[in-house]
Chain A
């Protein structure tokens, strides 16, 4: 990857209106969640800093994949419009990786702005006892962002038009956010008790959003909120579960990027 194309992609990604909207919207939403979380009574499984962080995690697993999938799909589809850039002495893979990295940096910075503001508010009111875990939560959010951007880019490059790319991205968000959880519930209903554990863990591995959610909940000892897949993960993998989930998120970054690069190399623009 050359510095020139990375810098170009960074400036291009930074100038998009999506980033400003995301940065502003996410910061406001994070602050609202933090303030509401701090003022609410302790009726959930977690209290104080942890409870508020868990609320923020829910915001992250819904908003971040949607924004990342759409941004990635748009950026991937836009590869058809950069004939001038692809005629320069650059490898297409370098352009793709630069595009992904630039979006990770720009959207990641916007996300960290929101999470940072919320973290300061939570720390000021609830103390900083769980501060390190909160930092780990932001790390998980970044991993989720990177994975969803890679999936979005892959969709954008493989889809025949920009409109279809964005439609596929929304469909993918729906499947990852809800569809696979519904599948997990169905599996629990169909399979005999105790037999579903591996199947449920597999469902976690095919879903980066669920992986990030279970990983985040585990940070704050809120596994009980992680649903059937989280329970299965504890039962099957115990202490190794967290690492499996991190590996899942990394794989969901690497594999779509590989597939996108392969498709782009062969594609007529």
Chain B
């Protein structure tokens, strides 16, 4: 599980992420939503150990991300927004590396990639795959082995309808096997379909955390739990608009098990 307490990131004078608290339990899926520059990627990159916090703390599976970095990342699967490896990297080489650090035989990684349709592309440099294929292959490798915490930064970006469905399936599968999933997305339809809770970030601040029903209530948008297609875009626009108008305090929703 993921535990975040007053986690902060500054780049020079700019606050990329104001103190944020968050818990993501095993088997739970939490979505980070917000406009560009809201701090979604910053939060995920902090948790993945790519950047270091300016303040606060975070734990993955009970291990501090700063003082016990590699141990904290032992069961972490992370899909960055960018490719995350040089384009010249051969898919099979990357698969061997991921398998080795997760204590698996390389054949396990190859079989997973084969099942995902990459059996004939194992010898290809990633740059030779299409954007969607790269994303799907990296997603497959990120979730390889006994991964208990999954961080996905815009996992559906550049994917076609089939690829986006694969991502949704991967998130559902991770949740089903008990992983804590935290993902950032601009695809609000995916968020509504997949997330147990939603964290709304605006200009580096977590202005609201809650279920879609709680967000709808806070936004004053009519919604019934039986709605198969919740008006999430409307909810999002109302809440982001209000937080930008300086009404963030009235938006903040406190749930005992949320932020």
A positions within 8 Å CB-CB of B? 2-5, 7-8, 11-12, 15-16, 78, 81-91, 266, 268-269
Contact across chains for A82 and B84 when beta carbons are under 8 A apart: yes
- The answer to whether A8 touches B86, judged by C-beta atoms less than 8 angstroms apart, is no
Q: Give the interface SS of chain A, mostly helix, strand, loop or mixed.
A: helix
Contact between A89 and B74 (Cβ–Cβ < 8 Å)? yes
| Residue in B11, B71, B83, B142 whose beta carbon sits within 8 Å of that of A89 in the complex | B71
Chain B contact residues, CB within 8 Å of chain A: 11, 45, 48-52, 69-71, 73-74, 76, 78-80, 82-86, 88-90, 93-94, 96-102, 138, 141-142, 151
Q: Is the CB–CB distance between B93 and A86 below 8 Å?
A: no
Measured in the bound complex, the distance between the Cα atoms of B71 and A182 in whole Å is: 51
The complex places the Cα of A39 from the Cα of B7 at a distance, in Å, of 71
Taking a contact as CB atoms under 8 Å apart, the answer to whether B49 and A86 are in contact is yes
Q: Bound state CA distance, A16 and B102, in angstroms?
A: 27
The interface residues of chain B lying within 8 Å CB-to-CB of A12 are 86, 88-89, 93
- Contact call B86/A88, Cβ cutoff below 8 A: no
A51–chain B nearest beta-carbon distance, Å: 42
Do B138 and A84 have beta carbons less than 8 Å apart? yes
Contact A5–B76 (Cβ < 8 Å):
no
Name which residue of chain B comes closest to A5, CB basis: B97
Q: Is the CB of A82 within 8 A of B97?
A: no
Q: Give chain B residues whose Cβ lies under 8 Å from the Cβ of A266.
A: 52
- Closest Cβ of chain A to B205, distance in Å, is 20
In the complex, residue of chain B having the shortest beta-carbon distance to the beta carbon of A4: B100
A4 to B103, CA, bound (A): 10
A87 touches B90 (CB 8 A): no
A15 touching B84 in the complex, CB below 8 Å, given contacts A89-B70, A89-B101, A269-B50: no
Minimum CB–CB distance from A17 to chain B (whole Å) comes to 9
* Beta-carbon contact of B86 and A78 below 8 Å: yes
Closest Cβ of chain B to A133, distance in Å, is 40
Return the 6 tightest CB-CB contacts between A and B, nearest first.
Answer: A4-B100, A84-B84, A87-B78, A268-B51, A8-B97, A87-B48
Q: For residue B45, which residues in chain A have a CB less than 8 angstroms away from its CB?
A: 83
**From B86, which residue of chain A is reached at the shortest CB distance?**
A81
Q: How far is the CA of A89 from the CA of B104 in the complex (A)?
A: 14
Min distance, Cβ B134 to any Cβ of chain A, angstroms: 11
A96 to B: closest C-beta gap in Å: 14
Whether B84 contacts A5 by the Cβ 8 Å rule is: no
**Residue numbers in B under 8 Å from A5 (CB-CB):** 97, 100-101
Contacts of A4 in B (CB 8 A): 96-97, 99-101
Q: Which of A8, A78, A84 is in CB contact (< 8 Å) with B78?
A: A84
